[in-house]
Amino acid sequence: GNSVTQMEGPVTLSEEAFLTINCTYTATGYPSLFWYVQYPGEGLQLLLKATKADDKGSNKGFEATYRKETTSFHLEKGSVQVSDSAVYFCALGTYTDKLIFGTGTRLQVFP
Amino acid sequence: EAGVTQSPTHLIKTRGQQATLRCSPISGHTSVYWYQQALGLGLQFLLWYDEGEERNRGNFPPRFSGRQFPNYSSELNVNALELEDSALYLCASTPPGITDTQYFGPGTRLTVL
């Protein structure tokens, strides 16, 4: 079946450091891939998405590239800010219904 | 454009009671999805409603149920509450014909004492 595996957190970084959060997936067919972010006490916000192989999703300085050969969708940002502190979820979507989420990775950025 | 809204923000119940959670999708969206985010368990798919019909449900007991109204808003009902039902319940919506790009509301935090 379909599944998503994310790196364990928390990830702790200093401001302006480079961020990578790993995400790999298992899927039949050709899923869409997503990164959602959850700030403390809030719901999920769609951060970026990619719908086919080699697509790059980007938003607010974050990027992720849909790599079919490595079944990965790693999230990167060149210079994190304290305001980026949140929980990040990688998710897989198909044309059926539900999204399948990874377990989430907590990012803590210190000044 | 208003996003997905959910009410109430917080709900406190005792074991055995019933809880009703409400969701209003983004205008023009016809599908509503419910997820449970319990501590330590990540996000689990609960239910999908589209055009007033239940299209799919996740691996939850029948005491989790819901409905979708003609205006596409939705209700999630949880009967015979158990302590482990304490969680953040998230609602998401999508426009017609789209199922993968889902837009989430802020959630309802249900606490069962």
CB-nearest partner of B106 from A31, A43, A49: A43
Burial class of residue A94 (count of CB atoms within 10 Å of its CB; 0-12, 13-18, 19+): middle
Residue A42 pLDDT more than 90?
no
Q: What integer best gives the mean pLDDT of chain B?
A: 93
Distances (CA, A) of B49 to B29, B37, B54, B94: 11, 19, 5, 10
- Classify the phi-psi angles of A60: left when phi > 0, otherwise alpha if psi is within -120 to 50, otherwise beta: left
Q: Taking a contact as any Cβ pair under 8 Å apart, which residues of chain A between 8 and 47 contact chain B? A: 31-32, 34, 36, 42-46
Query: Which residues of chain A make contact with B42, given a CB cutoff of 8 A?
Result: 101-104
Residue A24 pLDDT more than 80?
yes
Residue A97 pLDDT more than 70?
no
User: Cβ B107–A93 below 8 Å, yes or no?
Assistant: no
A76-96 per-position pLDDT tens digit: 999 999 999 999 999 998 766
Answer with the residue of higher pLDDT: B92 or A40.
Answer: B92
The residues near A93 (Cβ < 8 Å, ≥ 6 apart) are A31, A32, A33, A34, A99, A100, B99, B100, B101, B102
Residue B74 burial (CB count, 10 A): 25
B40-92 per-position pLDDT tens digit: 778 899 999 999 999 999 999 999 999 999 999 999 999 999 999 999 999 99
**B54 close to A (CB below 8 A):** no
**A102 close to B (CB below 8 A):** yes
- What mean pLDDT is predicted for residues B82-108? 90
CB A27 within 8 A of CB A36: no
pLDDT tier, B101 (very low <50, low <70, confident <90, very high otherwise): confident
HSE (side-chain half, CA atoms, 13 Å) at B85: 27
Residue B16 pLDDT more than 80?
yes
User: Cβ B99–A101 below 8 Å, yes or no?
Assistant: no
User: Cβ A94–B90 below 8 Å, yes or no?
Assistant: no
Distances (CA, A) of B16 to A87, B36, B111: 32, 19, 13
